[in-house]
Chains A and B, each alone.
Chain A
Amino acid sequence: MSGAFRIPAAGRLKQAKTARFSFDGQSYAGIEGDTLASALLANGVHLVGRSFKYHRPRGILSAGAEEPNALVQIVRDEARKTPNVRATVQELYDGLSANSQNRWPSLAFDVGAVNDLASPMFSAGFYYKTFMWPKAAWKSLYEPKIREAAGLGVSPDRPDPDHYSSRYAHCDVLVLGGGAAGIAAALAAAETGVRVILADEQAAFGGSLRFESGARIDGQDGFAWAQAAVAKLAAMDNVRVLPRTTAFGYYAQNFVGLVERVSDHLKTPGHDLPRERLWQVRAKRVVLASGAIERHMVFANNDRPGVMLAGAARTFLNHYGVAVGRNVGVYTANDSAYAAAIDLKKAGVNVAAIVDLRDNPTGPVIDEARALGIEINFGRAVIRAGGKLRVSSMTVQPKNGGGERTIPVDAILMSAGWTPSVHLFSQSRGKVAFNDETRRFVPGTYAQDCVSVGACNGTDGLSATVDEAYAAGAKAAKDSGAKAAKGAKPKVDASESWSRGMLGAAPGAGPDTTVKAFVDFQNDVTAKDIRQAVHEGMRSIEHVKRFTTNGMATDQGKTSNMHGLAIAAETLGKPIPEVGLTTFRAPYTPVTFGSIVSHARGPLFDPTRRTAIHPWAEAQGAVFEDVGQWKRAWYFPKGGEDMHAAVDRECVDVRTKAGLFDASTLGKIEVVGPDAAKFMELLYTNPWEKLEPGRCRYGIMLREDGFIYDDGVVGRLAPDRFHVTTTTGGAPRVMNHMEDYLQTEFPHLNVWLTSITEQWAVIAVQGPKSRDIIAPLVDGIDMSDEALPHMSVREGKICGVPTRLFRMSFTGERGFEVNVPADYGQAVWEALWAEGQKHGATAYGTEAMHVLRAEKGYIIVGQDTDGTVTPDDAGLDWAVGKKKTDFVGIRGLKRPDLVAKGRKQLVGLKTKDPKVVLEEGAQIVEDPKQAIPMKMIGHVTSSYWSQNCGRSIALALIAGGRDRMGDTLYVPMPDGVIEVEVTGMVFFDETGGRLNG
């Protein structure tokens, strides 16, 4: 038997399929199709958690997503411990293990409950008032302690082993909410043939039809009709039906985020199944059919386990076949709770009494309740619930005061009325309007192409709802381009009535009381707290919300907002619309990080780019470094070398023999067209018109403000064709910068740009033996110094494949850069490597490359420059074409600050102690004895140990640096001041003879 409170004749679950589960270590049996909440209730368990602040015992309030109390931790295994799961949403599976939260040592005896006794201390604004001083204690003491004491479950401490997927989807009509309204709208739209998506957060479609025993549509029970209609929709090619799917955010232009819980309800989720699937839907029209949420009555101790919403009790009975008690009381201010009493009574549950705040309501449900022999008390209030871990009684009093009477009960079903769910409408930037007659906020002004139907639109009654929804579905389809519908509108044969209910605190929880009548269960906010906030000066509902934390818990005030607002309005003596409604923000219910991240984890977190030569370097044991998204070989340690030893060896080998370097990541752009040279003249500081085809030039690119943006060697392949190289990191932005000018400032030029970064693998061969290594493999290129001088380029073949062979050097040695189509990169590298072995060549990585270039004073844009460095600052004024009348940055270079004396200039630094290597970024001062804060005149941009120089070397940006040659400056560091001498930037082979050596 799946619980003593299961009523076999009631509900829709098949008794045969038992599911065993545990809660706080205790084993229970439920039925497949149960939620954890219904299964617990079937076993008579109401106490499921402790409240956030006062640690009060709490039970199950609702049967849906609005649940504020029944938050549990679901534990699948060590890595899968999901906190804050609503027991009313979690579907039962065989073997489910759940634990209560926020209690110690046990749920029934919780030490933290002392807070309940000390509650006068914890009133509204408590956090703001109590933990102000000393300020430093907030982070170190108060916040950690508060978080510890007021926990909401425990975060898992291992990487999430599940995977999450995502999908972009487009449709004509997106219907959010799968109750009668949503289904009717989806049917109307789907029948026209347009693309429809219908989503509902529950496992079973039907919405309120899950509990409305009095609804009949098209000759069937309402719930049965819903199942048949959804099955019909699911079978249609143009419809996607998404159960267990919550629309959590409504963004611009009908872009809606939904999370589908794919496998949390399964005993053993298949390996390929994601845990959740994020749907990002773009809809031409959206139909909001999000229903309404029942409000609780605000009275003393209304949070005792066993006190719950009437509609929830009905759902547990009519859908799950569970009686929430054996002797229940009903406290209501509207008709719908009568239906709960009637259904329970018919199922054999004793209904001790109905207490109705209204004076003399009439109607068929009241007549029926009376006919069933249920005691009905009009004009009376429940002023308090008795019991602690479970409600044991309700105390009734005439609403205007008088004698009290206590009635023993084991559950209280309450209903203050229904609040339209305007969350998504509000998120869409629609403005709600207050209806004075029905006292509720309903959709007013729409901001997007959407429409609200049914209960969320304030439409009462099943018949009116279906009429409205069907018409809206058809119109949405038509507006999205559909032809006329072919179907027939569902016919409502019988329905239940709705009535408006009340807002705010009930009698007995009025202004002059100090009782704990809860407005917001999850954040422990009482009616008294709201009033106190007003008394302390809060006027706007936004302030009241923040001061009391009303509506700020994970349930975002789904049950509490309207009550809180009404109490604030009453206290302020203002009508509700003047106090205003807080803004609804996404997400509607909490969304896992997993879903938000979806595929972007592990190897898909960010692309990892590897060159064609990467596999070779990996096989050689290279250590890689990240350069943007690229993996670049950093150094190649041999036989236990550390980085320092490997880099020293690589640097020496390049200068004494030769080295091979993978330069494939350099950005490359092919500039083609009759105006190619004109374009280059405009984008670079250098002159290009007269550069002969077959020759190269080092180019500098500026921004319009005159500062260095990028640099690189450019080869002219033909009069109308340039092969431009950029820095590795600069490749995409340089391309964008060039396209920007070409398309918007110089569109008259006949020239086009194509990224060829990845077309060519680039192998730098540098060093005195470099030509000897390359020459045997090359066809059709004269490798002599006369035919192929420094800074030239030829097209030909190497190893039988096409090459663009550059004679250039970033080391100061004789050097080449061999470009070959990327797929040949590794084979050509291997051929060059084999040839290189005859000459003792080494493979070198980016670290050695950096050292070698620094030895020559070659700058690295982005390291030795920082976006505030001009060509002159960097000692590169020679690269600026003095006769040019225009290039990007020409005007910026003339700005007063850029021509002023005393600018920071790039110079070399030698430490007085040659063994000391400066730290990059270290600040430089003239006088180390001056008072702190010292005047800093510059900083170190590059610094290395140079084995070739036998000492440390550094580059630095220093104010007036070139006028300080030979001066001694100081670098203050935590463990002492380092003395340095200002020098030129070239530390090795100052005459440059080795370029042809």
Chain B
Amino acid sequence: MLLIRCPYCEEERPELEFRNAGEAHIARSANIAGESDDDFEKFFFIRSNPKGIIYERWRHIHGCARFFNAVRDTVTDKFVMTYKAGEPKPSKLPGAAK
């Protein structure tokens, strides 16, 4: 069981309190109704599924109930960092980013 740092609770908490919520930084268009088929396809269906660093959303559903963002390495299953929902994608990762 992993420990995940909740950026709202400001501490590491057991994975059982969390739920994964898919890839992060996929913005819903303010004018979604007018979006082209291609753009909607990219927004709704296409995910990066990388080997290595992934930016994803988690919810501390059985804790503070907040959604937040996390950077995780899909090879080692290690969390690199977490940050609050709405904050920009970090340009630099702590430690040696691959």
Contact = CB atoms under 8 A, between A and B. Distances in A.
B66 A743 contact: yes
Contact of A252 (B19, B35, B77, B85): B77
B97 interface: no
B51 interface: no
Interface stretch (A48-56, A312-320, A884-892, A977-985): A884-892
B32 A890 contact: yes
A704 B33 CA distance: 11
Contacts of B35: 891
B67 interface: yes
Given A890-B32, A895-B40, A896-B37, A744 B85 contact: yes
Interface in B38-75: 40, 44, 57, 59, 61, 65-67
A252 B67 contact: no
B1 interface: yes
A885 B21 CA distance: 26
Interface residues of B, number: 23
B57 A744 contact: yes
A747 B85 contact: yes
**Dominant SS among interface residues on chain A:** mixed
Interface in B71-88: 77-78, 85-86
Nearest to B61: A736
A282 B44 contact: no
Contacts of B98: none
A571 interface: no
A641 interface: no
Nearest to A745: B28
Nearest to B3: A253
Contacts of A94: none
B37 A743 contact: no
Interface centre among B33, B78, B85 (most CB of A within 10 A): B33
Interface in A242-266: 251-253, 255
Pairs A-B, 6 closest by C-beta atoms: A891-B32, A743-B67, A890-B33, A745-B28, A253-B3, A744-B67
Interface string A889-901: 0111011100000
Contacts of A255: 1
A705 B44 CA distance: 8
Contact of A891 (B19, B21, B33): B33
Most chain A CB within 10 A, of B21, B57, B61, B67, is at B67
A280 B14 CA distance: 12
A253 B72 CA distance: 14
A740 interface: yes
Q: Which residue of B32, B37, B44, B65 has the most chain A CB atoms within 10 A of its CB atom?
A: B32
A739 interface: yes
Nearest to A889: B32
Interface in A926-946: none
A704 B26 CA distance: 13
Interface of A: 251-253, 255, 280, 282, 704-705, 736, 739-740, 743-745, 747, 885-886, 890-892, 894-896
B93 interface: no
A220 B86 CA distance: 65
B9 interface: no
Nearest to B2: A252
B1 A251 contact: yes
Contacts of A740: 21, 59, 67
Nearest to A885: B33
19 contacts: A252-B77, A253-B2, A253-B3, A280-B1, A282-B3, A704-B28, A736-B19, A736-B59, A739-B67, A740-B21, A743-B67, A744-B67, A886-B32, A886-B33, A890-B33, A891-B35, A891-B40, A894-B33, A896-B37
Most buried by A among B28, B66, B85: B28
Contacts of A282: 3, 14
A886 B78 CA distance: 38
Contacts of B86: 744, 747
A10 B8 CA distance: 63
A280 B78 CA distance: 20
Given A743-B67, A744-B57, A747-B86, A704 B1 contact: no
Contact of B85 (A704, A743, A885): A743
A789 B66 CA distance: 40
B57 to A, nearest CB: 7
Contacts of B66: 743
A250 B64 CA distance: 29
Contacts of A745: 28
Contacts of B37: 895-896
Contacts of B78: 252
Nearest to A893: B33
Contacts of A894: 33
Interface in B16-40: 19, 21, 28, 32-33, 35, 37, 40
Which residue among A253, A255, A747 has the maximum number of chain B CB atoms within 10 Å of its CB?
Answer: A253
Contacts of A704: 28, 44
Contact of B65 (A251, A739, A891): A739
Contacts of B40: 891-892, 895
- Pick the most buried of A252, A705, A885, A891: most chain B CB atoms within 10 A of its CB: A891
Given A885-B33, A891-B32, A892-B40, 12 more contacts: A252-B1, A253-B2, A253-B3, A255-B1, A739-B65, A744-B67, A745-B28, A886-B32, A886-B33, A891-B33, A892-B44, A894-B33
A673 B44 CA distance: 29
A892 B1 CA distance: 37
Contacts of A885: 33
A7 B79 CA distance: 58
A845 to B, nearest CB: 32
A745 B37 CA distance: 21
A933 to B, nearest CB: 30
Contacts of A253: 2-3
A886 B28 CA distance: 11
A745 B67 CA distance: 11
Nearest to A251: B1
Interface centre among A252, A704, A705 (most CB of B within 10 A): A252
Contacts of A280: 1
A406 B89 CA distance: 77
A743 B59 CA distance: 10
A251 B57 CA distance: 23
Contacts of B1: 251-252, 255, 280
A736 B66 CA distance: 10
A282 B14 CA distance: 10
A731 to B, nearest CB: 14
Nearest to A254: B3
Contacts of A895: 37, 40
A831 B76 CA distance: 61
A945 B85 CA distance: 51
Contacts of A892: 40, 44
Nearest to B29: A891
A465 B59 CA distance: 46
A743 to B, nearest CB: 5
Nearest to B16: A168
A705 B28 CA distance: 13
A122 B46 CA distance: 53
A282 B59 CA distance: 22
Contacts of A896: 37
A282 B61 CA distance: 21
Nearest to A252: B2
A192 B79 CA distance: 31
Nearest to A280: B1
A885 B19 CA distance: 31
Contacts of A744: 57, 67, 85-86
A170 to B, nearest CB: 10
A500 B10 CA distance: 51
Contacts of B3: 253, 282
A510 B77 CA distance: 45
B67 to A, nearest CB: 5
A890 B40 CA distance: 11
Contacts of B61: 736
Nearest to B69: A744
